[in-house]
Amino acid sequence: MTNKSHQARVAALSIAQMTTVVNLLHAHGQNEHAANVEAAKNAVVDIVRNELGGDALAEALKLISDELDGMGEVPAALAIRH
Q: How far apart are CA 17 and CA 23, in angstroms?
A: 10
Angle between helices 54-69 and 31-52 (to 10 degrees): 130
Neighbouring C-beta atoms of residue 61, cutoff 10 Å: 19
Q: What is the mean pLDDT of residues 46-57?
A: 94
Q: How far apart are CA 47 and CA 49, in angstroms?
A: 5
pLDDT in tens, 3-33: 989 999 999 999 999 999 999 999 999 999 9
Total residue count of the chain as it appears in this document? 82
Give residue limits of the domains in the chain: 3-71
> pTM to 2 decimals?
0.78
What percentage of the chain exceeds 90 in pLDDT?
A: 70
Q: How far apart are CA 24 and CA 50, in angstroms?
A: 28
